[in-house]
Structure 1
């Protein structure tokens, strides 16, 4: 993102600021996340769109050549290595998944990740409430 670009206040603003080639994928990824977790709140954190359910759930963004989903759980992606390797049109770096533009998003993989993150957040919430 260009540092001269105003900091977006909403996910709509963020998407509108991105090059045309990224907007459809970002919009679709947002819809998938909100469809799975309608109670998640949308926010901008560190200049990128994030979804919060009890705690930060996942985020999304762009880089030079792809759209990305920030999973925010390196252990989860480590657990899912075999599933991730089955998808040739994604790249994984740390706890971020980069999607190749103009190719269909791996819906089942995204669903699996988002629902696993919901479970992680709910477990953490229950553990903290016991203290």
Structure 2
């Protein structure tokens, strides 16, 4: 993938099977954090708001949603893993043949956003 200039070009240049997952992740972020500044950092989509950030990345067989270790606690990782998602310290891996865990991501994002708003 060439260096993207914005999130639209990042998604457009991703593999065809990745695009629906990336669009859904973008929509979750934009609807949960409408004040987030959308952009490209480290060659991937990044959303910055009140000193905190989230983002996503497309890989060959999955997308990774990065939410931060402060928002993804061990019990959250266990719950997501029980539902078939792989997790890292601060990431959720979504295979392209899996449904995006919209409710779970939104529930993880909301307290992070609330905390950032309070810090304003």
CA contact (8 A) 2:71 2:109 kept: no
Cα distance, 1:84 vs structure 2:
2.4
Q: For this pair of structures, how many residues does the alignment match?
A: 119
Pick from 54, 57, 60 the counterpart of residue 53 of structure 2. Answer: 57
Alignment correspondent of 2:106: 111
Cα distance, 1:105 vs structure 2:
0.9
Q: Secondary structure at the match of 1:112?
A: helix
Query: 2: distance between equivalents of 1:116 and 1:78?
Result: 12
Pick from 88, 91, 112 the counterpart of residue 96 of structure 1. Answer: 91
Pick from 24, 27, 30 the counterpart of residue 26 of structure 2. Answer: 30
Structure 2 unaligned segments of length 5 or more: list them. none
CA contact (8 A) 1:59 1:70 kept: yes
Cα distance, 1:99 vs structure 2:
0.4
Query: Structure 1 or 2: larger helix share?
Result: 1
Q: Which has the larger radius of gyration?
A: 1
Cα distance, 1:37 vs structure 2:
1.5
The structure-2 alpha-carbon separation of the partners of 1:113 and 1:24, relative to structure 1 and needing over 3 Å to count, comes to: same
Query: 2: distance between equivalents of 1:56 and 1:49?
Result: 14
Alignment correspondent of 1:87: 83
User: Is 104-113 or 77-86 further displaced after alignment?
Assistant: 77-86
Structure 1 unaligned segments of length 5 or more: list them. 127-131
User: Is 8-17 or 49-58 further displaced after alignment?
Assistant: 49-58
Q: Return the TM-score normalized by structure 1.
A: 0.81
